[in-house]
């Protein structure tokens, strides 16, 4: 009994000393990007060889033939003036993302996509392909066997395709040859870019940073950018400073917005959506018209009369009267109350889209509607 009491007392002390979790707060790391720390896109043009007859048709893809002739000439083989008939080569575009601070010699993943009429890249090998940035400089070189996520098979009268066999990847298929210089430790000013621009969130981020540092070092310039001046006692220690700032928690402020995708009937509403006093009526009117023509024939052995078709039309009107047809919505209700009220009417997602647009047109919806 004594041991059980001690255990209960220990659990109580743990419950008291442990901080309460911040449910709505997010780390600054999760809502901002540090200007200058970003990926760079690379692209290159190359050849995939070793395909099992699923490569480009050279007469339909002249760029593949020209690339093949040029490659062979660089290797000392002259094929100009000859007719090449190979289906084991495919021209491809090679793309990759160069991570920030990628050092020379590190490896990155690449994506290989067919450019001509190749039907399958399975089993192919990408030859040495330089990958260039937007400035035209070569930052990486890629080579290696490609791995496709799809497949295709065909016979005389049928074929099957799964996935996209003309798109492939090479894990660690490129080697970084040039580094992008960016001296983060020597920066005097840091710019933090919000992923979801908002004035209130930007000010909250600046306030939280200033509270942590104990000085006015951060200023919200606009809804997107918070400018942080590195304190004099943290010069040359920017990496550790950013590491500490990233863990600060801030509650982002979200605008009242309703997102509508009419194609799929999806409705997403933010928590700050409010509705003023409004009355909503919703019902379905179904009109059915059915034709059941009848045949009219004269009596047997009659010398007069003829067979005729007599039309018979039935029209029915069915107006759904289930539940409340007119609902009163009180002013300044919350999102939960709005959803509960619309569900009480038994409306479908597509009907809800029409109702929300009608409420917005009436000026009773204090939110922005965005139609995708």
CATH value at residue 244: 3.30.70
Q: Is the pLDDT of residue 287 over 60?
A: no
Residues 59, 160 within the same domain: yes
Higher pLDDT, 129 or 149: 129
When pLDDT is averaged across residues 202-210 and rounded to a whole number, the result is 95
Q: Is the pLDDT of residue 369 over 90?
A: no
Q: Locate tokens 């890629």: which residue?
A: 142
Provide the domain count of the chain: 3
Residues 273, 359 within the same domain: yes
Last residue of a domain, one of 153, 176, 199: 176
Q: Residue 152 contacts by C-beta under 8 Å, 6 or more apart in sequence?
A: 54, 119, 120, 159, 160, 161, 162, 165
When pLDDT is averaged across residues 291-304 and rounded to a whole number, the result is 69
Higher pLDDT, 343 or 168: 168
Is residue 18 in a domain? no
Cα separation, 213 vs 205, whole angstroms? 12
Domain that holds residue 197: 184-250
Maximum Cα interatomic distance, the chain, rounded to a whole number of Å: 120
Cα separation, 120 vs 163, whole angstroms? 11
Q: Is the pLDDT of residue 171 over 70?
A: yes
When pLDDT is averaged across residues 74-88 and rounded to a whole number, the result is 84
Residues 204, 150 within the same domain: no
Range in 12-26, 28-42, 114-128 with the lowest mean pLDDT: 12-26
Residues 229, 139 within the same domain: no
Cα separation, 291 vs 263, whole angstroms? 34
- Residue 310 pLDDT: 72
Higher pLDDT, 131 or 263: 131
Residues 319, 226 within the same domain: no
Residues 274, 328 within the same domain: yes
Residues 194, 144 within the same domain: no
Which of 141-150, 305-314, 336-345 reaches the highest mean pLDDT?
141-150
Kindly indicate the confidence band of residue 10, based on its pLDDT and cuts at 50, 70 and 90. Answer: very low
One-letter-per-residue 3-state SS of the chain: CHHHHHHHHHHHHHHHHCCCCCCCCEEHHHHEEECCCCCEEEEEEEEEECCCCCCCCCCCCHHHHHHHHHHHHHCCCCCCCCCCCCCCEEEEEEEEEECCCCCCCCEEEEEEEECCCCCCCCCCEEEEEEEECCCCCEEEEEEEECEECCEEEECCCCEEEECCCCEEEEEEEEEECCCCCCCHHHCCEEEEEECCCCHHHHHHHHHHHHHHHCCCCEEECCCCEEEEECCHHHCCCHHHHHHHHHCCEECCCCCCEEEEECCCCEEEECCCCEECCEEEECCCEEEEEEECCEEECCCCCCCCCCCEEECCEEEEEEECCCCCCEEEECCCECHHHHHHHHHHCCCCHHHHHHHHHHHHHCCCEECEEEEC
Q: Locate tokens 């005389």: which residue?
A: 156
Higher pLDDT, 119 or 151: 119
Residues 171, 67 within the same domain: yes
- Residue 308 pLDDT: 74
When pLDDT is averaged across residues 351-359 and rounded to a whole number, the result is 80
Provide the percentage of residues in the chain whose pLDDT is more than 90. Answer: 38
Ramachandran region, residue 59 (left: φ > 0; alpha: ψ -120 to 50; beta: rest): alpha
Range in 87-91, 293-297, 354-358, 365-369 with the lowest mean pLDDT: 293-297
Cα separation, 11 vs 24, whole angstroms? 26
Average pLDDT of the residues of the chain: 81
When pLDDT is averaged across residues 133-150 and rounded to a whole number, the result is 92
- Residue 289 pLDDT: 58
Residues 53, 158 within the same domain: yes
Residues 66, 144 within the same domain: yes
């Amino acid at each position: 009994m004594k041991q059980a009491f001690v255990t209960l007392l220990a659990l109580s002390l743990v419950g008291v000393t442990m901080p309460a979790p911040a449910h709505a707060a997010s780390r600054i790391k999760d809502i901002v990007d540090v200007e200058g720390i970003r990926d760079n896109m690379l692209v290159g043009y190359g050849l995939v060889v070793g395909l099992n007859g699923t490569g480009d048709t050279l007469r339909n893809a002249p760029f593949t033939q020209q690339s093949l002739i040029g490659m062979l000439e660089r290797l000392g083989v002259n094929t100009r003036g000859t007719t090449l008939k190979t289906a084991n080569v495919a021209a491809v575009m090679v793309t990759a993302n160069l991570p920030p601070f990628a050092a020379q010699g590190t490896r990155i993943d690449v994506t290989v996509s067919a450019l001509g009429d190749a039907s399958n890249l399975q089993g192919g090998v990408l030859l040495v392909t330089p990958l260039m940035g937007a400035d035209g400089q070569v930052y990486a070189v890629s080579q290696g066997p490609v791995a496709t996520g799809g497949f295709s098979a065909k016979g005389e009268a049928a074929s099957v395709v799964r996935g996209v066999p003309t798109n492939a990847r090479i894990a660690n298929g490129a080697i970084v040859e040039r580094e992008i210089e960016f001296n983060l430790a020597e920066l005097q000013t840091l710019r933090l870019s919000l992923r979801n621009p908002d004035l209130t969130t930007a000010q909250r981020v600046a306030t939280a940073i200033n509270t942590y540092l104990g000085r006015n070092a951060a200023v919200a310039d606009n809804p997107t950018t918070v400018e942080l001046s590195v304190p004099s006692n943290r010069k040359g220690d920017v990496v550790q400073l950013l590491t500490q700032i990233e863990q600060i928690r801030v509650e982002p402020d979200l605008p009242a917005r309703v997102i509508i995708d009419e194609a799929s009937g999806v409705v997403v509403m933010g928590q700050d959506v409010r509705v003023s006093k409004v009355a909503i009526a919703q019902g379905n009117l179904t009109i059915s018209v059915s034709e059941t023509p009848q045949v009219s024939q004269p009596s047997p052995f009659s010398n007069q009369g003829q067979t005729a078709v007599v039309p018979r039309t039935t029209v029915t009107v069915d107006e759904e009267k289930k539940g409340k047809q007119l609902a009163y919505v009180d002013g300044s209700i919350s999102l939960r109350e709005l959803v509960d009220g619309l569900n009480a009417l038994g409306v479908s997602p597509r009907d809800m889209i029409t109702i929300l647009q009608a409420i917005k047109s009436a000026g009773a919806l204090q939110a922005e509607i965005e139609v995708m």
